[in-house]
Structure formats: structure tokens, C-alpha cells
Structure 1
Amino acid sequence: MPEPDMRRVLLVEDSSNDVELILNSLSENHLANEVVVVRDGEEALNYLYRRGVFKMRMEGNPVVVLLDLKLPKINGMEVMTQLKADPAFRLIPIVVLTSSREEPDLLRCYELGANAYVVKPIDFHEFVDVIKQVGLFWAVVNQPPPGSLPSIAR
């Protein structure tokens, strides 16, 4: 059976506990070949623009960005604003993964071009289930934009 296309996920999350839960859920359910974790908005932009420590990273965009809103240095809304304004990144799906249930945050994220807005459940089992569903849809079911998966010689 041929190897599936690389489906890289960019996780932008500053909470170590949430990172661990998300990685475990995606891994246990085999929902991504690679998850790149960055801890703030500045690191996320450096990763996508291949700057600094990410200068030599593999080419290609992630199949989805899981983006927290409340981040150090550059917040999630600022990251989304930059990505959606740049033709190189505009088509990358962005799933806001946040604890904010504030209606202004929800509205603003969709105005900026978020593809989904998911509130992190407090309950551990619900959290794991939500991540499984998010990962299943965005990394497996959803057809990614052209250019997000590396070309594979057939």
C-alpha cells in the first residue's frame, strides 16, 4: 500500500498541558504524520515564512493551522490577519482552538477568515474527543488547498 501524503499540522499553542493533550489525541488516532508545535505567534510566523530557526525547514505549507488566540508576543488574531493578507498563506485553513467563548472574539475570527472556531472543553475526555474530531476532519476528510502537500513521485 502506498505511503499516504504528508499531512503536516501547525499547532500554535502556549499551554504545555494543551499541547500534550492535542499531540496525544492526534497521535493515538493517527490523524497527522507530523505536528509542528510553536509556542507563540512570532514563532508561528517564523515557521511559515521560513525565518530564523525554521529557515531550513521542509518546503510546503501545513494542511491546517490550529491556532490559539491568547498567545505571547503576537496574538492569534494578529497571526491570522497576516496569514490571510498574504497570498502565499491565504488558503491555509485556520482552526481557532481557544478557551474564549466571547462573542466578539468569535465574530472577529470569522471576519479575519477563520475556517473554524472551536472552544476547548474543560473536561479531559471531551477535550480529547474534540481534538480527535478536529484532526479527523482537517487532516483526513477535508481536501487541502493545492500546494499544501508535497508532490510525491509516482
Structure 2
Amino acid sequence: MINKIKILLVEDDHIEVMKLKRSISKEFDNYYLSTASNGKKALSLIEKELPDLIILDLNMPDTNGNEFLSIIKGNEDYMHIPVIVLTTSNHDKDIKECYKLGIAGYIVKPLKYEEYEAKIKAVMHYWSLNEFLKP
């Protein structure tokens, strides 16, 4: 039996949260999704319960994605949590900085919903099949 994957989505745009939920709700039932609108709120959620996977936007108010990454990847208790960046930025500087900080993947948000959905489903398939199989 596969345990449910605890996913933390760190995203300040309500429409983006709805898009992600819609993308995975039809096909996947093996997850719990919690959300935070910035890095500071995400950190308070992580302190209460560790997620299995974090999906992170970079451009947010208060504690942005890079600041959040620096904090969790610098903390022994949190550094093992895989982080997938899901953002509009396709700048090499942002991509390199995120990988330097220890992310597991970087996805540029496509404009077309069908492409967005396909990318999110690919991420979910990968993490569901390869990372969180539990006897």
C-alpha cells in the first residue's frame, strides 16, 4: 500500500493554486495538499509537520522563494525535503541559483493550461512511482 504524499505548495497566486489542484485532482488520490502564500507561512507549516515534497514559486511577497530555499536547505531538519520550483522565471541566473541551493527540479510555468497540466502530472507520476513507494 502506498502512503499519501504530503505536498506543500508555496504559492501566493490563488489562481495558480487552483490550477495545480485541478491538474492533479482528476488523476491522483495519493496526496494531501497544503498551501502557504509565502515562505514565512510555509516555514511555520513545516515546523508543525514535515511535507514529503515542496512545490515552490519564486516570486512571492515577504519571504520569497530563494530566501525560503536558503533557509530550509541550510537547516539539517529540513534539507532532505525535495523542492520543485514552479515559476514563471526562465532566467539562467534563477535556475542556477536554485540548483546551487539544492532543488530537485525546476519547471517554468507554461502559458497554455494543457502544457501546465502535463508538466504537473509528470512531476506527480515521478514522485508517486519512484520516491514514495512504501512497503
Taking the aligned partners of 2:69 and 2:88, their CA distance within structure 1 comes to 17
The structure-2 alpha-carbon separation of the partners of 1:95 and 1:21, relative to structure 1 and needing over 3 Å to count, comes to same
> Would you say how many aligned residue pairs link Structure 1 and Structure 2?
134
The structure with the greater share of residues assigned to helix is 2
Higher Cα Rg, which structure: 1
Unaligned runs of 5+ residues in structure 1 are 51-58
TM-fit CA distance, 1:31: 5.3
Checking the alignment, whether the CA contact within 8 Å between 1:13 and 1:71 is kept in structure 2 is yes
Give 1:6's aligned amino acid: K
TM-fit CA distance, 1:121: 0.5
Q: Describe the superposition over 1:50-95 as per-residue Cα deviations: whole angstroms up to 9, x where unpaired.
A: 2xxxxxxxx4x21110000001110001111111111111110000
Normalised to the residue count of structure 1, the TM-score between the two structures is 0.81
Taking the aligned partners of 2:122 and 2:21, their CA distance within structure 1 comes to 13
The answer to whether residue 26 in structure 2 is matched with residue 37 in structure 1 is no
The structure-2 alpha-carbon separation of the partners of 1:81 and 1:42, relative to structure 1 and needing over 3 Å to count, comes to same
The answer to whether residue 124 in structure 2 is matched with residue 141 in structure 1 is no
Partner SS state of residue 142, structure 1: helix
Question: Which portions of structure 1, spanning 4 or more consecutive aligned residues, are displaced by more than 6 angstroms?
Answer: none
Taking the aligned partners of 1:77 and 1:31, their CA distance within structure 2 comes to 30
CA RMSD of superposed structures (Å): 1.7
Checking the alignment, whether the CA contact within 8 Å between 2:3 and 2:30 is kept in structure 1 is no
Unaligned runs of 5+ residues in structure 2 are none
Partner of residue 26 from structure 1, selected from 21, 24, 27:
24
Residue 54 of structure 1 aligns with which residue? none
Matches for 1:1-154 after TM superposition, within 5 Å: 2=1, 4-30=2-28, 32-50=30-48, 59=49, 61-138=50-127, 140-144=128-132
Taking the aligned partners of 1:132 and 1:84, their CA distance within structure 2 comes to 25
Give 2:124's aligned amino acid: G
